[in-house]
Structure 1
Amino acid sequence: MNDLDADEAWERLRASRSDPPAGADTAPRRKTYSAALEQAQQLFRAAAVVGPATSPVLAFYGLSQAGRAITAAARSLDGEDWRLKAHGIKTTGFHLPFPDIEIRTDASGTRGSFVKVSEVLDSPVWEMDPLRLVDVWDLLPPNLRYPLTEGDRLTPLYTVGDDIGVGTHEHSLLSVPVCDIPDRVIDAGTREALAAFLVSYPAVAQHESYVTTGALTRGSEAPPDYTRYQVGGGELRMNWLMPEGVGTGFDGMATSAERVAHLRTMTRGYAGSRYFLPVLGSMKRELHPLMAWWAVLYALSMLARYEPATWGTLINVDNSKFAVPIERLLERAINHLPVLIADTITEVST
């Protein structure tokens, strides 16, 4: 994934402060929206000029302040529900190996920042059922090439953006490539291996069909016809039935816009791209990418603040295998999060 234009995103956010989104239409919400974005930008700027020893603390608090702007702009929040209290998320297990640090959240319906922003974004919380840091780490698209462990991973599956079907005819199915399928699934080469993998990706598992190495007819038992990448992994073109009653194009076929809309219901957006994300543990749906960033940065910031010696060991490139992945994550946080914050404010205020 290429780095994104953080400067342009901050320009978008700064420009919005003179004409705030509709949700921030009262004086208290407008003042919070503007002040929180100013603090967020200054904290991210500070994070960009320091090293990994302190940057996760600054980046996390930059994101936390942006969360206050998000709830101030959210049309779905009435009364005083937009005001945030405390973090709403906690970490334990700093004595455990780095990938196994545990992350928990406050209960649904409480006022903690993580919980309330998750509510606005229709993103789940998991309360006392802990997630490991590595599981949330793997949900971030830029971490695809930066694993913390060598075990099987559940990572985002990239698909096309909002330009699906531009210039093509109407069609009865939604048909898109599902990318970044791991080698272990492709090497197995069977329909059964693919089905077992997709259990963690309910939206993908609901497909109607996919391209096979043999007959392309519905119900074919031929194995999946993957396209492999030189760098590892591969993709598979898959098809979904359109929702009943959809089809306003020629001969009742679904238009490009209708297929885009259906794809958006099954995926999460990340800076102009769409991803199928896994559903972890007891969750009922996938985490919003902004909340995955929030959880990871919170864990790193707490480790840096309260276990500075351990953190110093982890970021030592001479001795720690985690040092470079951490460095790359923090670099991407500076570049990616302003774009995600700007997109999220548009999402919640529209």
Structure 2
Amino acid sequence: MYFTTQKNYWQYLRRMRSAPPSSTRGSDARRGTFSAALEQAEQLYVAASRVDMESKPILLYYGIYQAGRAIAAVNPDAAAPWQLQGHGLKAPGLSERDRTERVLRANLLDGVIRGTGRAHEAFPNIAKILNSPDLTCEVQLGDLVALLDESRTRTKTQEGVFFTPLKDKPAPLGVSIETVSAANGLDIVSLYGFPQSILKAANFTNEVSNYLRLYFPQFSEDWTVHGVNGHNSIGRRGWVSVTRRVVHEVSADLFKSYDPEVAQLEKELRVRRPYYSFDSITEPTLPDQGKSVHRLCLWWAILFQLSMVARYAPNAWTDDLNVDLSALAVGLEQLLELSLEEVPRIVVEVVEGIEGEVE
């Protein structure tokens, strides 16, 4: 489902409230929570769109929390807790109030987030529903923000759309499936969006291989990096080809709108097509997390951390928003504005996906 504005997504969610997912049938409490929580989520996001950056992350976080409450209410797993309690996340750098200002002034993006792992709390509950890691292995805010950054797959600059210091952190890669062949048993996939520091390395094929092994386990050791067209060179926009030998009964027809061989390979490589683009991407897995973080969980954790900073270290937060003094200011503005658009869209996708599972 794709609309042009966040208002359209909220309107779509409003329509769902009169005919909620079938998993709420037989439970007035679940249905009531689904409807009321979505109403609050929408109101909080509308309010967030009207306030300045100093308060925006607080409203955005509680908005996504209430959207999560609605998602938990329609979880088809009847045995799972659905009445969310607590945050399920901690910001260890903010636990000692007397150290708050000093810690945050060092670097906002280095702030640490850690999941509590308590299943009845909000974030672990939603993470389980979405098959996403619950972040009990702590992670830095900058690592999570980089995972949102698909700019390397859309621009030639290779600079992070949010913050230049994140340009070498793992981020989504653009994917193009070139060949799925039964004749020679060869799969050829082109990837782009690697950090420039890797592409400029003297032996970039080794560097690309190591990068894929570390952050993209979907490209197992069966895949070999060849540069472009089998040569040790880099193509336009930093294209790099990877290949593997595999037995196919039939070759894929890449000109068909749907081919089962291509669909199977896309599933294996965790390929998805963003709503704004015809290009496909594959997402990285952070070390110690075990699997890719779902995009709703990314926004949840990011907005949690930023809301904590805004509430408990307002002086430091205001300084970070000062465009005359802070290199992070414009990136923070872009990040929070993007969340206004992205979160309701993702909520629609999640609720529709749950309904599809039930059917």
**The two structures share one fold, judged by TM-score above 0.5:** yes
| Contact 2:227-2:241 within 8 A present in 1 as well | no
How far has the Cα of 1:236 moved from its partner? 2.6
> Alignment partner of 2:147: what SS?
coil
Determine whether 1:294 maps to 2:300.
Answer: yes
Match of 2:316 in 1: 310
Match of 1:192 in 2: 206
Match of 1:139 in 2: 147
Match of 1:40 in 2: 41
> Alignment partner of 1:290: what SS?
helix
For structure 1, the 5+ residue unaligned runs are: 217-221
Match of 1:7 in 2: 7
For structure 2, the 5+ residue unaligned runs are: 94-99, 152-159
Distance 1:116 1:179, change over 3 A: same
Q: Give the alignment's TM-score, normalised by structure 2.
A: 0.80
1:259 pairs with one of 255, 259, 262: 262
Matches within 5 A, 1:214-225: 216=230, 222-223=231-232, 225=233
Determine whether 1:29 maps to 2:35.
Answer: no
Q: Give the alignment's TM-score, normalised by structure 1.
A: 0.82
Output the CA distance in 1 between the equivalents of 2:341 and 2:166.
27
Output the CA distance in 2 between the equivalents of 1:64 and 1:268.
27
More relative contact order in 1 or in 2 (CA 8 Å, sep 6+)? 1
Output the CA distance in 2 between the equivalents of 1:207 and 1:6.
42
> Alignment partner of 1:311: what SS?
helix
Distance 1:327 1:250, change over 3 A: closer
How far has the Cα of 1:132 moved from its partner? 1.1
| Contact 2:215-2:287 within 8 A present in 1 as well | no
Output the CA distance in 2 between the equivalents of 1:206 and 1:238.
11
Match of 1:67 in 2: 68
| Contact 1:91-1:299 within 8 A present in 2 as well | yes
Q: What is the identity percentage for the equivalent residue pairs of Structure 1 and Structure 2?
A: 29
Match of 1:219 in 2: none
How far has the Cα of 1:159 moved from its partner? 3.0
Output the CA distance in 2 between the equivalents of 1:53 and 1:268.
36
Matches within 5 A, 1:10-159: 10-25=10-25, 26-75=27-76, 77-79=77-79, 81-93=81-93, 94=100, 95-96=103-104, 97-107=107-117, 110-127=119-136, 129-141=137-149, 144-147=160-163, 149=165, 152-159=168-175
AA paired with 1:103? I
Q: C-alpha root-mean-square deviation of aligned residues, in Å?
A: 3.0
| Contact 1:174-1:259 within 8 A present in 2 as well | no
> Alignment partner of 1:49: what SS?
coil
How far has the Cα of 1:191 moved from its partner? 1.9
AA paired with 1:133? L
Range with greater deviation from structure 2 (264-273 or 186-195): 264-273
Alignment length, in residue pairs?
325
Output the CA distance in 2 between the equivalents of 1:292 and 1:270.
18
1:321 pairs with one of 321, 327, 340: 327
